[in-house]
């Protein structure tokens, strides 16, 4: 049976919430972890407390994502897994017509998941058993909530599970 010990994991959205908790839990399980986010202060706080390494980048910036993922893999000596956790919900319903909000949600919730997975693929494929874990949101499928772009969060995650992950095994939704 595989254990988490010594596995090298990149966690996006590692600077707060579920991502920060995941960073801490993985460190407690013996993983080497890189935590990705924009806020250098919050990343430093999480990393100093857990022993993870910071990977500061804006997930909407494709070249910056490539640089951050490559640097994290070099620092960890490879990547066994990526946790695509970063996401945001701007509560902008289609009726509100705030297209900049929708663009930001699709960019971070969907495209960034593909960017990070793509950037990590050479390392995941070189790993013994590379894993991609995509954190989604069942709320995206509830039309009554009008979470138009969030629905794509879940849909995009599924597409990536099927098309990009080297060995997709399971999908988790909160
Ligand atoms: N909390 C819930 O009840 C809940 C329920 C269902 C699903 N989820 C899903 O779980 C995930 C985490 O949720 P959470 O509540 O823990 O969120 P959160 O506390 O708001 O944290 C979001 C994380 O995403 C990062 N992030 C956002 N935009 C980014 C960008 N452009 N570039 C880099 N990093 C970015 C943030 O880092 P910086 O601010 O440092 O950039 C932060 O670390 C999300 O995908 C969410 O959809 C959450």
Domains in the chain with CATH codes: 8-173 (3.40.50.720)
Nearest to 144 by CA among 93, 109, 110, 106: 93
Q: Say what the pTM is.
A: 0.89
What's the pLDDT score for residue 80? 97
More confident residue, 21 or 162: 21
What's the pLDDT score for residue 168? 42
What's the pLDDT score for residue 92? 67
| Mean of all residue pLDDT scores within the chain | 84
- Which protein residue's CA is at the shortest distance from atom 45 of ligand 1? 87
Residues 98-124 have pLDDT tens digits of 788 888 888 998 899 999 999 999 999
Segment 41-61 mean pLDDT: 98
Residue 58 near residue 86 (C-beta atoms within 8 A): no
- Which protein residue's CA is at the shortest distance from atom 8 of ligand 1? 137
User: In the structure, which protein residues have their CB atom closer than 6 angstroms to any atom of ligand 1?
Assistant: 13, 15-19, 37-39, 42, 58-60, 85-88, 108, 135, 137, 174
């Amino acid at each position: 049976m595989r254990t988490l010990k010594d596995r090298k994991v990149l966690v996006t959205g590692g600077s707060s919430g579920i991502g920060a908790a995941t960073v801490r839990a993985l460190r407690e399980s013996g993983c080497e972890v890189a935590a990705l986010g924009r806020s250098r202060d919050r990343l430093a706080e999480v990393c100093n407390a857990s022993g993870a390494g910071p990977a500061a980048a804006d997930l909407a910036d494709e070249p910056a994502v490539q640089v951050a993922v490559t640097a994290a893999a070099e620092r960890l000596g490879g990547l066994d897994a990526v946790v695509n956790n970063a996401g945001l919900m701007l509560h902008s319903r289609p009726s509100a017509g705030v297209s900049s909000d929708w663009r930001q949600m699709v960019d971070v919730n969907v495209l960034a998941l593909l960017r990070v997975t793509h950037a990590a693929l050479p390392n995941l494929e070189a790993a013994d058993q590379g894993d991609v874990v995509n954190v989604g949101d069942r709320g995206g499928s509830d039309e009554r909530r009008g979470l138009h772009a969030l629905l794509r969060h879940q849909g995009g995650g599924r597409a990536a599970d099927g098309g990009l992950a080297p060995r997709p095994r399971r999908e988790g939704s909160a």
